[in-house]
Structure 1
Amino acid sequence: MMQIELIDTFLDLCETKSFNRTAERLGVTQSTVSGRVRSLEASVGVKLFQRSRSGTALTTQGLRFEPHARSLRHDWVTAKNAAQDTALAGITMRIGLQHDLVGIEIKRLIGHLREILPQTAFLLEADYSSQMCSDLIIGRQDIAILYSPQIQPDLYFETLGEVRYVMVSTQGDTLAGVGKENYILANYSATFANAHAALLPDLTHVSLSIGQNAAMVDLLTSLSGSAYVLEHSAKALIASGICQRVVDAPSIDQSVFVGVNVRNRHRATYRKLIRALHEQYPSQHANGRTRSERSAKGEVSAISPAKR
């Protein structure tokens, strides 16, 4: 029967690429690390690491085994906490966050997470939707806050709310003054791209496209041009005198989703986190009510394999 210590040692060694460093981090001797690796290799029947003068590296078989090892580790933690009926106290909750959402009241979000789970450590990582969905499946992340859900049997998603993108320009305050040659096309998500193409077809085929709000802000600050940025970034650019709001350009609202592995969707800790996230990302338009008010009335939309 495989011991979880073998998986922990394997995953730590994948990160450190050093038997000495892994031994220090795990508080064991180097010989113990070596022994665990040999035991694991004997269990799976292949060599997982190659040691050389340049260091320690995964073999081809080790690279194939790594995502499954992460999944095994995730399943072990899930099973252990389910059996003990704990609230993940004393462990790390790994949260993936869409790149563009990092700058939106992140301090408030962290404060709220610490308030509802004071004994839990949080690891927040900025990434793109496709990678976060993959990480949820293999157990590399516990929760993901993203733009583009990828519907798969192992994943469950809920709509949290929306963020708004608006057009700003260094050239003028109307679309008539926006030159196609200086327009920077935003490519924040497939949904955003489709909405932009429908609303502004004449500005769809241009020579430069950017997929991150922060990079777009940097470009507008250092160069001249016109582009869509998040509403809070637009306010900062306008306040600094760098840009003007293009008043007749339509705003584009991007839905924000939370995703979890289906095995965790009903666990109390995850439901607490999801409720907190509903408050973090309210809907821009909810018939006069905020997203949190709609959530309280049971109007929050969910996306799961059963509904597809």
Structure 2
Amino acid sequence: MQIELIDTFLDLIETRSFNRSAERLGLTQSTISGRVIALEQALGARLFTRSRAGTQLTTEGLKFEPHARLLRQEWMMARRAVADSGTAALTLRIGIQNDLVAEHLGALIAAYRALLPQAALYVEPDYSTQMCADLVTGALDFAILFTPKPQPDLFFQSLPDIPYRLISSCPASLSDLTPDRYICANFSPAFEAAHRQLLPALHAAPLSVGQSSAVALLLASLGGAGYVMESHAQGLVAAGGFHMVSDAPVIRQPVFAAMHLRNRTGTTHKRLAEAARRRLQSPGAR
């Protein structure tokens, strides 16, 4: 199977440009054109029209798109099915948001191994955008992430959200904090929007970080104030040198279970999502 023809077709749907797809795939424009011609000849239909406005799908291309997505998913699943997984009955590739790893990964994987003792698990900490892309192609089976990226092939399920608390190394109320001593957390677009709305004066801080553990490390080294996951906040306060900024709002980060649309009714994926829900809502995980 020439899966590269399908990959090229699907990439062109996103870029609407032969030149842009060539850059993204690391190929020449003539190779992209050749692949499209080969796929059109195999199907007996024209898939794209090209004009100054860009590359557009034909009616036949629109009809073929959902089949192309399924073909790519089936190909990835077929390759993994024949790959050596030892004595395991199946292999599951699970993605998890980087910010959740330190607090939740161990308990989640313990729960998954108890639920699926015959499964081999591959775990990949990552960011939401990449995990969504990997779910679409079949490189991941299931993911726990912060930011859903709408795709025709993906299904998202809400999980309990994560609270973040503002801590400071200086005895201060919210009104006493200044941007020069503040580390601005930027964990996701949803968190950023909430932070911008609630704390507009601090949003312009010169230092911004995208992971709670990184904010905690910087606070421990430099002092100052910043939002961290509630468990990180409690640890720093307990260790001394920090206190909760009591008049600061708690910002809650939405969390989602994500999977390919075809798996949304599958027993295994339902059990994975339910185990994640129980973990995130447990008192010890908040």
Same-fold status (TM-score > 0.5): yes
Summarize the alignment of residues 41-52 of structure 1 with structure 2, pairs less than 5 Å apart.
Answer: none
Q: Secondary structure at the match of 2:102?
A: coil
Match of 1:123 in 2: 122
Q: Take 2:159 and 2:169, find their aligned partners in 1: how far apart are those partners?
A: 33
* CA RMSD, Structure 1 to Structure 2 (Å): 2.8
Q: Secondary structure at the match of 1:248?
A: coil
Task: Give the Å deviation of 1:206.
Answer: 1.5
Q: Take 2:80 and 2:105, find their aligned partners in 1: how far apart are those partners?
A: 27
Q: Is the 8 A contact 1:160 1:277 kept in 2?
A: yes
Match of 1:254 in 2: 253
Residue 76 (1) aligns with residue 78 (2) = yes
Percent of aligned positions with the same letter in both sequences?
Answer: 41
What does the per-residue CA deviation read over 1:259-305, in whole Å, with 9 as the maximum and x for residues that have no partner?
A: 00011111111111111111111299xxxxxxxxxxxxxxxxxxxxx
Match of 1:47 in 2: none
Q: Secondary structure at the match of 2:160?
A: strand
Call closer, same or farther: CA 1:149–1:59 in 2, change over 3 Å.
closer
Summarize the alignment of residues 255-274 of structure 1 with structure 2, pairs less than 5 Å apart.
Answer: 255-274=254-273
Match of 2:85 in 1: none
Letter in 1 for 2:78: W
Q: Take 1:219 and 1:269, find their aligned partners in 2: how far apart are those partners?
A: 39
Q: Take 2:26 and 2:198, find their aligned partners in 1: how far apart are those partners?
A: 50
What TM-score, normalized to structure 2?
Answer: 0.70
User: Structure 2 regions of 5+ residues with no counterpart?
Assistant: 4-24, 36-68, 83-87
Summarize the alignment of residues 1-80 of structure 1 with structure 2, pairs less than 5 Å apart.
Answer: 2=1, 60=27, 71-76=73-78
Letter in 1 for 2:150: I
Match of 2:174 in 1: 175
Task: Give the Å deviation of 1:173.
Answer: 4.0
Call closer, same or farther: CA 1:79–1:155 in 2, change over 3 Å.
farther
Letter in 1 for 2:265: H
Q: Is the 8 A contact 1:161 1:283 kept in 2?
A: no
How many pairs were matched up? 220
Call closer, same or farther: CA 1:59–1:192 in 2, change over 3 Å.
closer
Letter in 2 for 1:151: P
Letter in 1 for 2:259: V
Match of 2:207 in 1: 208
Q: Take 1:231 and 1:160, find their aligned partners in 2: how far apart are those partners?
A: 17
Match of 1:162 in 2: 161
What does the per-residue CA deviation read over 1:31-61, in whole Å, with 9 as the maximum and x for residues that have no partner?
A: xxxxxxxxxxxxxxxxxxxxxxxxxxx9848
Match of 2:196 in 1: 197
Q: Take 2:149 and 2:129, find their aligned partners in 1: how far apart are those partners?
A: 7
User: Structure 1 regions of 5+ residues with no counterpart?
Assistant: 8-57, 81-88, 285-308
What does the per-residue CA deviation read over 1:227-265, in whole Å, with 9 as the maximum and x for residues that have no partner?
A: 000000000110111311111000001111000001111
Q: Secondary structure at the match of 2:103?
A: coil
Summarize the alignment of residues 268-287 of structure 1 with structure 2, pairs less than 5 Å apart.
Answer: 268-282=267-281
Q: Take 1:227 and 1:256, find their aligned partners in 2: how far apart are those partners?
A: 21
Match of 2:151 in 1: 152
Q: Secondary structure at the match of 2:281?
A: coil
Letter in 2 for 1:166: R
Match of 2:136 in 1: 137
Task: Give the Å deviation of 1:76.
Answer: 2.4
